[in-house]
Amino acid sequence: MTLDEILDIPPYSLRKDDKEKLLLARLNELTELHRENCPEYARVYGAMGFTERAGSVEEIPFLHTAMFKEFDMMSVNPSEVVKTLTSSGTSGQKPSKIYLDRATAQAQQKALARIMSDFIGSKRIPMIILDCPSTLKDRKKFSARGAGILGFSVFGSKRIYAFDDDMKLDVDSLREFLGKISKNTLAGGGADLLLFGFTFMIWEYFCKAAEKSGLDLSNGILIHGGGWKKLANEAVSPEEFRRRLHDVCGISRVHDYYGMAEQTGCVYMQCEYGHFHASTFSDVIMRRPGDFSVCRFGERGIIQTVSVIPQSYPGHSLLTEDEGEILGEDDCPCGRAGKYFKVYGRLKGAEVRGCSDTYERS
Amino acid sequence: MNGAEFLIGSADMMNSSPLPVYDDRAVNFIADISSRLMNLPESRAYPDIAALGFWCRKASIERLKAGCPERAFRLGRGVCFHVAPGNIPVNFAFSYLFGVLAGCVNVVRVSGRDFPQTGIILEVIRETLKAHAEIESRSVFVRYPADNGITAEFCRHSDARMIWGGDETVAKIRALPAMPRCVDVCFSDRRSLCVMNGNAVLEADDMRLMRLAEGFYNDTYLMDQNACSSPLVVLWLDDSNVAREKFWGAVRSVAEKRYRLQAAICTEKYLHACSDAITLPVRNVLRENNVLYRLELEAIPEDIDSLRGRGGYFYELAIGSLEEMCSIITRKCQTVTYFGIKAEAVRDVVIRRRLMGVDRVVPVGRAMDINIIWDGFDIVRTLSRIITAE
């Protein structure tokens, strides 16, 4: 099956055996493709003794996500690269560089659209971007935030940024924007208004500013991502996040997603029951730290993600530094097929003993 | 010294006169420390405290003393300022005791990090000093947050400095003026390696193999391979796959039992191996699980000193003769541990080929055994001066 055909399959329709068959064939194909076209991947493949033709998705060899920070890895001629994604990277770290050719970039967009339509419908609806316009300044070099905004923007029939470049909430424009919606589209059932933003930005800027604004967004659906690390530092739980949002603007349909710049497009959306879901186009495997063997369902492990999309760079199977737990497969009460899981966040940093250069910095 | 917290002693003690080296008062004090440490219930929980206590036994100090026949003509240099490393808990105590043996007035800056060992050892020193007035008046322990002003103040009074903590710390402290005749003993960033004889491994019986594997474990995993003296590269003489498998199999089973493998170390090692596969002449990455990674090199990497590894991550390479060891020894090389080879043979190569590296050659298992000769320095002699009379 071609990538395009795969992406035509409804995103939460395949059950275990069918999905395994589909993924295995495609992922084996990608391993071969990258081995032939990406010299760095070929070196790793040889030295690490990667499995030649995996017999199951669990046997598909993986790279560590941070490899894209250290190396410029691509499986296409540099002249075919149309976009370079860079991950935000935690402070002080090198960002990941993800090289996209036209086909991979389009597939990312299509996969995202397919996944999103399951949550907001296939009709485009008015959209509020809970961020500022300057995030998108340089179109050739995207930050993860910029890529996210751009990727999700296609679901908006018309769009407005909630903040100006000084991160001040533009209440008047928002009110005017909302006023037009209620006249035009509010009659129907589904979502009438899409809100999109990054978890931390929403908490830090939107919740505070919206409190005094009196905006009513109760007819909206909010999609947010980017992780909880900063919020966890402030001891903000997902429950509190949702409660606060509801309090400040009446919104109750809030969906987090798990995803990474290294596998853009294949986001793992949170369903109505708070579970993250793997779509037909990707999958998650939890691995035990001791030997990377596969965890049982319900057992906490290191998250590996596989995706059918990455053709222009060897990112089809990646070991992350996040911890998670598979909750089940094909039987989530929300009705979506595939694995559903929970994310615990970043692995705890290693504590090590030793003596070199350990004098406290002065 | 405003801002420094005096844990033991006071600033005015820096005016005390030095003592002769291996003075009886110093030897008795250290022996007293030893028995207190060895009787401490905490010694059971902290092997490093037990090792410290064992090192300063009266018999072992007497042996060191006997090794310094000119001791009657040596006096401590004066004030010795010890900048202890932040990451090996017991090191400050060794540094201090070396200074005591040399007859110095010792000012020890202990790390701000909160190791339980620091408090336990300081308490023993504090209690022991009460019965040893001559040492007590020459012992100062301070703690202060990173502050070059306070360090500069201590340096100004220093006749000797023991600077632990690596290149960066050494450069920083040395930039601060000290007494004109001040002697610095600098412990810079070092690397270490191991030379194995494959045939000797093949011949080793179970008992010997077990001891070898445990020794290697103690040299490496015990400090997460972060100690300068932990070998990172294993060189194989009389190499064979059978020997390698036998050795590493034994090491792995010790590590599986004793090493606390953290998840973050597992992903780090995987990333490291994938990166190395791209940048280094790696033939194979061998890992049965995540406790032990072996990177088989097919040639010597260009920048051997840039190799890193922690938490059970090693490079290995076959060599045809001991002489071939020379091509990977740089001035950064500190310790060579060995098995199935004669120590003298290794030293002989170092001397004959006039290498800039290798200060110590010790059997596998002894990489961490710190003593008064360390990093190529004879510390007690360096911290004291000899008075000649003709």
Q: Is some CB atom of chain B closer than 8 A to the CB atom of A289? A: yes
In a domain, B62, yes or no: yes
Quick one: pLDDT at residue B296? 97
Judge if B45 and B129 occupy the same domain.
yes
Contact (Cβ atoms closer than 8 angstroms) between residue A311 and residue A101 = yes
Q: Which of B88, B87, B68 is nearest to B22 (CA)?
A: B68
- Residue B368 domain-assigned (yes or no): no
Q: Which of A327-331, B95-99, B298-302 is predicted least confidently?
A: B298-302
Structural domain contains residue B67: yes
Residues from chain B contacting residue A48 (CB–CB below 8 Å): 273-274, 277, 285
Please give the Cα distance from B102 to B380 (Å, whole number): 5
Which CATH number fits the domain that encloses residue B287? 3.40.309.10
B337 shares a domain with B258: yes
Give yes or no for a contact between B313 and B225, defined as CB atoms under 8 angstroms apart.
yes
What's the confidence (pLDDT) of residue A354? 47
Which of B85, B172, B278 is the closest to A43 by Cβ?
B278
- Is B263's CB within 8 Å of A67's CB? no
Q: In this structure, is residue A360 part of a structural domain?
A: no
In a domain, B303, yes or no: yes
Residue A353 pLDDT: 57
pLDDT digits (tens, 9 = 90+) for B326-347: 999 999 999 999 999 999 999 9
**Residue A214 included in any domain:** yes
- Residue in chain B lying closest to A302 (CA): B263
Helix orientation angle between B24-39 and B91-102, rounded to the nearest 10 degrees: 160
**Shortest distance, CA A347 to any CA of chain B (angstroms):** 6
Query: How distant is the Cα of A45 from the closest Cα of chain B, in angstroms?
Result: 9
Confidence of residue A355 (pLDDT cuts 50, 70, 90): very low
Closest CA to B271 of B234, B317, B308, B239: B308
How many CB pairs (< 8 A) connect A and B?
A: 140
Flag whether residue A66 sits within 8 Å of chain B, measured between CB atoms. Answer: yes
The residue-averaged pLDDT of B299-322 equals 94
Asked, for residue A355, whether it belongs to a domain, the answer is: no
pTM of the model: 0.91
- In a shared domain, residues B11 and B46: yes
Question: Is A63 at the interface with chain B, CB within 8 A?
Answer: yes
pLDDT of residue A190: 57
Contact B51, B43 (CB under 8 A): no
pLDDT number for residue A128: 94
Instruction: Confirm if B152 and B118 have CB atoms less than 8 A apart.
Output: no
Nearest chain A residue to B113 by CA distance is A360
Return the pLDDT at A92: 59
pLDDT, residue B150, reads 94
- Mark whether B251 and B161 lie in a shared domain: no
Interface of A with B in 27-46 (CB under 8 A): 40, 43-44, 46
B274 contacts A67? CB cut-off 8 A: yes
Are B91 and B18 found together in one domain? yes
The residue among A321, A319, A312 whose CA lies nearest residue A347 is A321
- Is residue B37 located within the same domain as residue B179? yes
What is the model's pLDDT at position B263?
95
Predicted confidence band at A298 (pLDDT cuts at 50, 70, 90)?
Answer: very high
CB contact under 8 A, A358 and B282: no
Alpha-carbon span A260 to A252, nearest angstrom: 25
Query: How high is the mean pLDDT of chain B?
Result: 95
Determine the average pLDDT of the residues in A190-218: 86
d(CA A126, CA A130): 13
**B151, B189, B278: residue with CB nearest A356:** B189
Q: pLDDT per residue over B89-98, tens digit each?
A: 899 999 999 9
Does B131 lie in the same domain as B30? yes
Ramachandran quadrant class, B354 (left: phi over 0; alpha: psi -120 to 50; beta: rest)? left
Contact B291/A330 with Cβ under 8 angstroms? no
Please check whether residue A359 lies inside any domain of the structure. Answer: no
**CB-based contact, A298 to chain B, within 8 Å:** no
Of B86, B112, B277, the CB nearest to A44: B277
- What's the alpha-carbon Rg for chain A, to the nearest Å? 21
pLDDT digit string, tens, across residues B59-109: 999 999 999 999 999 999 999 999 998 778 899 999 999 999 999 999 999
Cβ contact, residue pair B169, A357, below 8 Å: yes
Residue A351's pLDDT band (cuts 50, 70, 90): low
A357 inside domain: no
Check residue A59 and give left, alpha or beta (phi > 0: left; psi -120 to 50: alpha): alpha
Shared domain for B201 and B122, answered yes or no, is no
Residues of chain B with C-beta less than 8 angstroms from the C-beta of A351: 262
Q: Is A299 within 8 Å of A325 (Cβ atoms)? A: yes
SS3 string, B88-114, reads CCCHHHHHHHHHHHHCCEEEEECCCCC
Q: Is the pLDDT of residue A74 over 90?
A: yes
Q: Is residue A172 part of a domain?
A: yes
| B150 lies in the same domain as B264 | no
Q: Over 70: is that where the pLDDT of A90 sits?
A: no
Are the beta carbons of A47 and B168 separated by less than 8 Å?
no
State the smallest CA–CA distance between residue B287 and chain A in angstroms. 9
Range of the domain at A281: 3-346
CATH at B109:
3.40.605.10
For residue A240, CA distances in Å to A228, A268, A301 come to: 12, 21, 26
Give a yes or no: residue A301 inside a domain. yes
Q: Which of A107-111, A200-204, B80-84, B144-148 has the lowest mean pLDDT?
A: B144-148
Instruction: List the single best residue of B92, B110, B154, B271 to mutate versus A (max A Cβ within 10 A).
Output: B271
Give the count of beta carbons closer than 10 Å to the beta carbon of residue A90.
11
pLDDT, tens only, A172-200:
999 999 888 754 454 444 568 999 999 98
| Nearest CA among B151, B146, B148 for reference residue B161 | B151
Tell me what pLDDT residue A187 has. 47
More confident: A28 or A216:
A28
Q: How far is B140 from chain A (nearest CA, A)?
A: 19
pLDDT at A127 over 90: yes
- The domain spanning residue A98 has which CATH number? 3.40.50.12780
CB contact under 8 A, B223 and A355: yes
- Is pLDDT at B198 greater than 90 in this prediction? yes
Cβ of A353 within 8 Å of Cβ of B87? The answer is yes
Tell me, yes or no, if A302 comes closer than 8 A to chain B by beta carbon: yes
**Which of B269, B278, B289, B292 is the best mutation test for A, with the most CBs of A within 10 A?**
B278
* Mean predicted confidence (pLDDT) in B273-302: 96
The reported pLDDT for the residue numbered A89 is 54
Tokens at B184, concatenated:
């610095």
Which of B193, B227, B218 shows the shortest CA–CA distance to B360? B193
The pLDDT tens digits of the residues spanning B11-27 come to 999 999 999 999 999 99
Q: Are residues B57 and B142 in the same domain?
A: yes
pLDDT value at residue A360: 34
Q: Is the pLDDT of residue A53 over 60?
A: yes
Confidence of residue A138 (pLDDT cuts 50, 70, 90): low
The yes-or-no verdict on residue A165 having pLDDT over 80 is yes
Residues B72, B175, single domain; the answer is: yes
Residue A71 clears pLDDT 90, i.e. is over it: yes
Percent of chain B with pLDDT over 70: 100
pLDDT band at A333 (very low <50, low <70, confident <90, very high): very high
pLDDT tier for residue A361 given thresholds of 50, 70 and 90: very low
User: Residue B89's pLDDT is what?
Assistant: 85
CB of B199 within 8 A of CB of B243? yes
Average pLDDT estimate for B47-67? 94
Residues B270 and B351 in one domain: yes
Confirm or reject contact between A71 and chain B (CB < 8 A). yes
pLDDT above 90 as % of chain B: 90
| Domain total of chain B | 2
| Lowest pLDDT segment from A225-229, A280-284, A306-310 | A225-229
Average pLDDT over residues A52-60: 95
Contact flag B284-A47 (C-beta cutoff 8 Å): yes
Q: Decide if pLDDT at A141 tops 90.
A: no
On average, the pLDDT of chain A sits at 88
Note the pLDDT of residue A40: 98
Whether residue A359 is predicted with pLDDT greater than 90 in this model: the reply is no
Number of separate domains in chain A: 1
**pLDDT at residue A352 above 70?**
no
**What pLDDT is attached to residue A91?**
52
Q: Does some domain include residue A115?
A: yes
Please state, in angstroms and rounded to a whole number, the distance separating the CA atoms of residues A89 and A224.
18
Question: Count of residues for chain A?
Answer: 362
Q: Which domain holds residue B155?
A: 5-187+375-386
* A311 closest CA partner among A20, A45, A37: A37
> pLDDT tens digits for B169-194?
999 999 999 999 999 999 999 999 99
* Mean of pLDDT values over A74-98: 83
Cross-chain CB nearest to B290 (options A40, A292, A353): A292
Q: Exposure string (b/e) for A92-122, b if CB count within 10 Å is 16 or more?
A: eeebbbbbbbebbbbbbbbbbbbbbebbbbe
